[in-house]
Chain A
Amino acid sequence: MDEMDLMKKLSDVPSPSPEAYDRARAVLETAVAEPVDTVVRPKRWFSWPRAGVAAVGAAAVAATVVMGVTGGSAPTGTSTEAASPVVESPLVKLASEVKAAAAQPGDSSLVIATKTAPDNSRHVYYTLYTDKGQIFTGDSTTLASSVTRNDDQATPYNAKVMAAAREAANGDVEKARIAMITAANNALGVGLDPAAADKAWADTQAEVAETFRKLGKEVPAPRPRPTGKELENRINNHLWSNATYALVVGAANTEVRAGVLKLLATIKEVTVGETDLDGQRVLTITASPDILGGNASAVLTLNADNGLPIRDEVFPAKDSPQPSKHAVVSYESSRVSLADVAAGKI
């Protein structure tokens, strides 16, 4: 007998019960079963995992809808409800400057996101978005192998949000706006005629009910269609969520960045300020709790000269019974060469 044999004598402990394994799997199945958007798309940086873990029940589904990750909600009834003109905004001006700037070298956008979790642990996440539309992810040690293995993580959702951003930069902003709002799905019925919008709403309600049935959970009562301001807030929630997602995936792509700026400028509940941060001129883009589900506001800080994201910060909403936790993500963006990344030179 040696010390390893002694160690093994300490290994016998009461295991979790079979029911505990069932419960844990049910939690996972709930997370997996959330509509396709959450499956194929990296989670929002401000959506901490625990919020998803607790997502068993109608309230949780409603919350994720508002956060714009499930997208299932109310139809507009008319396309005009989604329409919002581009107002003169510092963001539009900046978008024009970004678009007019000299072409940057390289063939890919690299965004390095650093998130400090509530427990102060740091998480660094690299996202490489190529001009061809591929997406590679990892960290400083795994990104190169992701590229060499051609482990492209781009999904149809990614393609849609990036196409919508490019459309906003180069073409019809209103068309791009609808495309960005509906990138995950169009349960809201944006841009559809009333009959088609009704069907989109009903189909989504049926999907939600079916998901709960599959999980053996009580099916939540159908939710009434939001109308008026609530509907507008949900539409803008989708626009904010999808557009800012596009930005943090492909910030160093000029078209994507310019398009996102123009789209954010169409949201009335977004305010733009200008200040200094560590000696550089920055724009602060603030989204009110109205379009973030009521529990948080968000401040996206951009370099005022080139529009590159610097920081995304979430603040708890004062009046919310369940305010979100404060969260910060910092970004560094640059143009790089895919070949250099593959060669481990980044």
Chain B
Amino acid sequence: MSSDAELIGRSLRGDTSAFVEVIRRHETAIGNYLARRVGRQAAEDVLGDVWVAAYESRATYDRSYPEARPWLYGVALNRLRRHWRSEPAEQPAPDLTRLAHDWDPWPAVDARVDVQAPLRRALARLKPEEREVLGLVAWEDLTVAEAGRVLDIPAGTARRLLHQARKALREAPEVAALLQVPTT
């Protein structure tokens, strides 16, 4: 079976079905990733955008990586950021550049995921990049290095962020209670 990288290479040479095959392989994983972040309905709305964005940027795919799933998470994350930013605001944002940098989808996620309230509260206190690495590793079963690829950060940085996130969670009183371990 051809690797994702080989299929993307064929797609760049004009094989129109090759890229669709890549998407078929990973659509469930990416669909669930989107649903975990924006809910099912919004995930369904943006899924087609994600595929087209991936298709249009496939020339930038680093074909030294055989599997494209981490790359597709990155494309999906970028589309999600645009999706949130493009939602109508009640008041015009005074400084869109700053808004873009401070963008943080997780409060919305927290509101939608109505389980384990204590854990959600603890997650909300993490830094956005810590939560993203944690989510990619815990929910998407990526390695830390792959999570780094998704976020376009070095593997060492991703490892540090995961370590910080896990430590902060363990030390959060509400999580510690769930784990039934002392907080000291």
List residues of chain A with CB under 8 Å of any chain B CB: 1-4, 6-11, 13-17, 20-21, 23-29, 31-33, 36, 39-40, 42-43, 49-50, 52-53, 117-121, 137-139, 142, 145, 149, 151, 153
- CB–CB B139/A6 < 8 A: no
Q: For window 26-40 of chain B, which residues contact chain A by CB distance below 8 Å?
A: 27-28, 31-32, 34-36, 39-40
Q: Contacts A10-B119, A52-B56; is A25 near B97 (CB within 8 Å)?
A: no
In the complex the two chains form, is A11's CB within 8 Å of B59's CB?
no
When the two chains form their complex, are residues B34 and A10 in contact, meaning their CB atoms are under 8 A apart?
no
A28 and B32: CB pair below 8 A? no
CA distance A50 to B46 in the complex (A): 11
With both chains docked as a complex, state the minimum distance between the C-beta of B114 and any C-beta of chain A, in angstroms.
10
Whether A119 lies near B59 (C-beta < 8 A) is no
The count of chain B contact residues (Cβ–Cβ below 8 Å) is: 57
On chain B, the residues within 8 Å of A16 by CB distance are 31-32, 34-35, 40, 43-44, 47
Report yes or no: A31 in contact with B52, Cβ–Cβ below 8 A.
yes
If the complex has contacts A25-B24, A142-B60, are A39 and B14 also in contact, measured as CB distance less than 8 A? yes
Interface residues of B in 1-47 (CB under 8 A from A): 12, 14, 16, 19-20, 23-24, 27-28, 31-32, 34-36, 39-40, 43-44, 47
| Bound form: Cα–Cα A248–B154 in Å | 31
Distance between Cα atoms of A25 and B31 in the complex (Å)? 12
CB of B104 within 8 A of chain A? no
Residue pair B52, A27 in contact (C-beta under 8 Å): yes
Measured CA separation A2–B179 after assembly (Å)? 7
Contact status of A3 and B166, CB under 8 A, knowing A21-B31, A52-B52: yes
The CA-CA distance from A27 to B52 in the complex, in Å, is 7
Query: What residues make up the interface of B, taking CB atoms closer than 8 Å to A?
Result: 12, 14, 16, 19-20, 23-24, 27-28, 31-32, 34-36, 39-40, 43-44, 47-53, 55-56, 59-60, 62-64, 81-82, 85-86, 96-97, 99-100, 112-113, 115-116, 119-120, 134-135, 137-139, 166, 169-170, 175, 178-179
Q: Which 10 pairs across A and B sit closest by C-beta, in order of nearness?
A: A27-B48, A7-B138, A24-B47, A20-B44, A28-B51, A24-B48, A120-B96, A3-B169, A16-B31, A11-B139
Min distance, Cβ A249 to any Cβ of chain B, angstroms: 13
- On whether A23 and B48 interact (CB within 8 A), knowing A11-B138, A49-B53, A119-B85, the answer reads yes
- Is there an interface contact between A7 and B19, defined as CB atoms closer than 8 Å? no
| In the bound complex, CA of A25 to CA of B23 (Å) | 8
Which residues of the partner chain B approach A21 to less than 8 Å between Cβ atoms?
27-28, 31, 47
Q: With A17-B44, A24-B51 in contact, is A9–B116 under 8 Å at CB?
A: yes
Nearest-neighbour CB distance to chain A for B127, whole angstroms, equals: 16
Residues of B near A33 (CB, < 8 A) are: 16
Rounded to whole Å, the gap between the CB of B89 and the closest CB of chain A is 12
Q: Tell which of A9, A14, A119 touches B96, judged by Cβ atoms closer than 8 Å.
A: A119
